[in-house]
Amino acid sequence: MTVSTITLNDGATIPQLGFGVFLVDPADTERIVSDALEIGYRHIDTAAIYGNEEGVGKAIAASGIPRNELFITTKLWNKAQGTQSAYDAIDVSLGKLGLDAVDLYLIHWPSPAQDKYLESWLALEQIKADGKARSIGVSNFQLPHLERIIAGSDTVPAVNQIELHPAFQQRDILNFGAANGIHIEAWGPLGQGKYPLLELPQITEIASAHGKSPAQVVLRWHIQTGTIVFPKSNSRERIAQNFDIFDFELTADQMASIDALDSGKRVGGHPDEVK
């Protein structure tokens, strides 16, 4: 199975489908990430706050997969924002991952109450210059946050990782990203089970038409929309199923049907409020 790739604004390429480890128990992380790597995933998305970077690192080391075939992302947690603390945080993450550099380092949330995200972004520029991150980006940034760091630095983020699923499509951020060369990554691509997305007739009818599961249909919608997506699961069977989305294509009418599900339903925290 060949996973499609996207070229970022700094020339790096990223697999469009990855595997996320949000809420994966640290004790189970090595086994679960090993399963994902055996199935064929080469893009792993973790974060300092997840507490499972060490398990990701152990799975990478045990896999025997050449480092240049993997794309590894981690994130700077809110309480580590600031210049020196960001430098310290990347070193801690690299130590846990057992890596000399990550492929992508993100500011996890803007945390505007701290008002350190521009300072942190300038630190990420230096972290990239030092070779500890090949690409840098942000997560959960709204338009004012993006505009501020672009105006105050020399680097446009390579990606913005945001909550994105059929009921919450954030088209203003997608459009801004398209206009400014910022690729969008979708977290919670299946709505985190917080609404009955996979039971909606608009989804189940498309799934029946293609002989696929509702989750596969939604992930395929993400791929055809152009977003970078990384579902998570603790089940090897489900991990494999989520990977099997490159042998069918949604029609324009099917895409439009899913597009029409946008209702502004956020299931996670608002970026202006997360501290």
Distance of alpha carbon 77 from alpha carbon 107, whole angstroms: 7
Domains of the chain (ranges, CATH numbers): 12-192+225-233 (3.20.20.100)
Supply the pLDDT for residue 226: 97
Percent of the chain with pLDDT over 70: 100
Supply the pLDDT for residue 96: 98
Burial of 210 (0-12, 13-18, 19+ CB in 10 A): middle
Distance of alpha carbon 167 from alpha carbon 259, whole angstroms: 9
Residue 2 has pLDDT above 90, yes or no: no
Residue 23 has pLDDT above 90, yes or no: no
Residue 1 has pLDDT above 90, yes or no: no
Please state, rounded to an integer, the average pLDDT across all residues of the chain.
97
Q: Is the pTM of this model over 0.95?
A: yes
Supply the pLDDT for residue 163: 98
Supply the pLDDT for residue 90: 98
Kindly state the average pLDDT of the residues 42-58.
97
List residues with catalytic annotation. 50
pLDDT digits (tens, 9 = 90+) for 91-115: 999 999 999 999 999 999 999 999 9
Tokens standing for residue 75: 């994130």
Kindly state the average pLDDT of the residues 23-52.
96
Supply the pLDDT for residue 103: 98
pLDDT digits (tens, 9 = 90+) for 160-200: 999 999 999 999 999 999 999 999 999 999 999 899 999 99
Residue 136 has pLDDT above 80, yes or no: yes
